[in-house]
């Protein structure tokens, strides 16, 4: 596992460098979920694939930018599912973006997620690594990542980050968002889930939601390489998650590599509010 974390450190440094100087712009291709691939999405995917090629413990890679699973080492123990560049459409406006990695043991299912990592390319290069608990690291001047602190969510926060086309929100979702604002929450939403979830996590709590909408009833965010890695971090930080009605995002059954789901991540108090308004599966 340590070998995988070290590889992600090297990847982070390379992607961060590419973001600073490489060409922006679009390719002629669409990825599996229909987004036109940016050159930087493809470049980041290539960097990650090349760095993992010789990591013996990795059996295969699943990427937002690859249609199928890519086999690396038949005898490897782990599957790494990743979003090479999250929030890539925000690079042109110079917002913070990131990469997300879910590390699964043996096969791709929610219960087999054993660790997750995300990197964030902002004014500083940071990385959150989570096996037993989430830990924040930051790149230092000497080129090494230094441990900063453990991350813990408070019972209740102050931030409300909600995505998707508002015209397509359900009345229930609108009620949830308005309830939080009436309780004094502040809106924070950049459009890169890495940055938005990082902000909620580091500021101690709140709610990040990407709901089902009339145009996307199964949401937008992808289960194996966006949703579950963050659900793992939020739950290990003392928070809670849901698809709106479930007890946890870990109740999801993965049927397709690029499957999407509505998702909610927050401190315990906001997820309780979610269930008071949305309801809850028994
Ligand atoms: P990606 O750049 O990997 O395709 O992901 C973008 C995602 C996610 O980061 C963000 O939360 C969401 O898209 C924003 O979508 P909306 O603009 O619909 O809120
Ligand atoms: Mn993404
Ligand atoms: Mn992406």
Ligand 1 atom with least separation from CA of 194:
9
Say whether both 27 and 126 belong to one domain.
yes
pLDDT band at 282 (very low <50, low <70, confident <90, very high): confident
The C-alpha atoms of residue 223 and residue 150 are separated, in whole angstroms, by: 25
Say whether both 201 and 220 belong to one domain.
yes
Tell me, what's the pLDDT at 26?
66
Average pLDDT over residues 10-24: 91
Say whether both 16 and 123 belong to one domain.
yes
Tell me, what's the pLDDT at 168?
97
More confident residue, 123 or 30: 123
User: What pLDDT, in 10s, does the model give residues 245-280?
Assistant: 999 999 999 999 999 999 999 999 999 999 999 998
pLDDT at residue 93 tops 90: yes
Ligand 1 atom with least separation from CA of 33:
4
Q: Rounded mean pLDDT of the chain?
A: 95
Instruction: Tokens 């917002």: give the residue.
Output: 95
Ligand 1 atom with least separation from CA of 83:
3
pLDDT at residue 173 tops 90: yes
pLDDT at residue 37 tops 70: no
Q: What is the DSSP letter of 260?
A: B
pLDDT at residue 73 tops 80: yes
Ligand nearest to the CA of 88: 1
State whether the beta carbon of 191 lies less than 6 angstroms from ligand 1.
Answer: yes
User: What pLDDT, in 10s, does the model give residues 129-164?
Assistant: 999 999 999 999 999 999 999 999 999 999 999 999
pTM (two decimals): 0.96
Q: What is the DSSP letter of 124?
A: S
State whether the beta carbon of 192 lies less than 6 angstroms from ligand 1.
Answer: yes
* Domain boundary residue, one of 96, 122, 150: 150
* Domain boundary residue, one of 117, 150, 183: 150
* Helical (H) or strand (E) element with 230: helix 228-236
pLDDT at residue 23 tops 90: no
Domain ranges, residue 143: 2-150
Say whether both 23 and 99 belong to one domain.
yes
Instruction: Tokens 């038949």: give the residue.
Output: 74
Say whether both 128 and 170 belong to one domain.
no
Q: How many distinct structural domains can be found in the chain?
A: 2
Q: What is the CATH number of the domain that holds 64?
A: 3.30.540.10
Q: What is the DSSP letter of 224?
A: I
Residue 15 has which token pair?
Answer: 């992607």
Strand segments, DSSP code E, in the chain are 26-30, 36-38, 58-63, 70-71, 78-86, 97-105, 113-121, 125-130, 134-139, 145-150, 159-162, 186-187, 206-210, 240-242, 263-266
Q: How much distance in Å is there from the Cα of 225 to the middle of ligand 3?
A: 9
Q: How much distance in Å is there from the Cα of 89 to the middle of ligand 1?
A: 8
- 57-81 burial, b for 16+ CB within 10 Å, e for fewer? bbbbbbbbbbeeeeebbeebebbbb
Q: What is the CATH number of the domain that holds 239?
A: 3.40.190.80
Q: CB-side exposure of 187: number of CA atoms within 13 Å?
A: 10
User: What pLDDT, in 10s, does the model give residues 45-67?
Assistant: 999 999 999 999 999 999 999 99
């Amino acid at each position: 596992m340590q070998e995988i974390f070290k590889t992600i450190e090297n990847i982070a440094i390379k992607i961060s460098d590419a973001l600073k100087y490489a060409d922006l712009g679009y390719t002629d291709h669409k990825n599996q979920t229909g987004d036109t691939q940016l050159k930087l999405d493809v470049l980041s995917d290539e960097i990650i694939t090349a760095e993992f090629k010789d990591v013996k413990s990795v059996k295969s890679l699943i990427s937002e930018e690859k249609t199928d699973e890519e086999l690396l080492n038949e005898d490897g123990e782990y599957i790494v599912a990743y979003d090479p560049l999250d929030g890539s459409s925000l690079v042109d406006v110079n917002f913070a973006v990131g990469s997300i990695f879910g590390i699964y043991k043996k096969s791709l299912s929610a219960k087999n997620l054993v660790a997750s990592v995300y990197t964030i390319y902002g004014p500083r290069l940071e990385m959150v690594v989570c096996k037993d608990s989430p830990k924040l690291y930051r790149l230092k001047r000497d080129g090494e990542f230094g441990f900063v602190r453990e991350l813990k969510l408070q019972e209740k926060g102050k931030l409300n980050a909600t995505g998707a086309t508002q015209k397509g929100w359900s009345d229930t979702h609108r009620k949830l968002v308005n309830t939080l604002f009436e309780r004094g929450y502040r809106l924070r939403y950049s459009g890169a889930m890495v940055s938005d979830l990082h902000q909620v996590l580091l500021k101690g709590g709140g709610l990040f939601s990407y709901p089902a909408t009339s145009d996307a009833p199964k949401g937008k965010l992808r289960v194996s390489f966006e949703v579950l890695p963050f659900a793992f971090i939020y739950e290990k930080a003392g928070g809670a998650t849901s698809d709106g009605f479930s007890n946890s995002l870990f109740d999801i059954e993965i049927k397709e590599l690029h499957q999407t789901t509505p998702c909610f991540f927050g401190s315990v108090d906001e997820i309780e509010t979610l269930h008071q308004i949305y309801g809850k599966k028994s």
